[in-house]
Amino acid sequence: MAYAAYVSVRMWLDGEQAVHALPEYSERTGEPCGACHVNPGGGGPRTLRGLLWAARGRPDDVPQLPGMLISPDITDGLELYDIACAGCHGNSGEGLYAIDLAQRGISKAATRSFIRRGIPELGMPVFEGQFTDEQLEALSAFVAELGLGPPLPSEFLLPPAKFACLATAPMSCGGN
């Protein structure tokens, strides 16, 4: 009881809250969970769009962020893929929440179109205006190349991000 009170007060003082994705939000907004959460399956930390959506009182429409780059100054296709795509399509294109891309044979032009316009019926978000032309070219080329061969060997993959949670306040780490 004392620990729960401590955690509640600590979270209130820190301004942190556990974030839980609810399927009804996705259904209500028509957006995949990955539009608002870093984890495309939902839960955990929110993306910038998710934070803005929550700050606006969770309206029926998730705000768009036109012209907001996902990763300014990154121009490497593999790094862009790891930042924007791997959460759904897997670190090596094997598919997690979305289709596998390895050996799929999707052309660079089609990939570019899918990235820009999304595939709403499959839950792929629209990324229009979130990459520069140079970034979009590098990412499209990388995904098209990935589609020609087997999944990436593990030695080419970026190490997973490390998250640190306070042992005294495990609930502040988010979760499902």
* pLDDT tens-place string over residues 143-154: 999 888 766 666
d(CA 141, CA 108): 6
> Whole-model pTM?
0.61
Q: Are 176 and 20 in contact (CB under 8 A)?
A: yes
d(CA 79, CA 35): 19
* pLDDT tens-place string over residues 85-133: 887 888 888 887 788 998 888 999 999 999 999 887 887 888 888 899 9
End-to-end Cα spacing for the chain: 22
Q: Are 46 and 54 in contact (CB under 8 A)?
A: yes
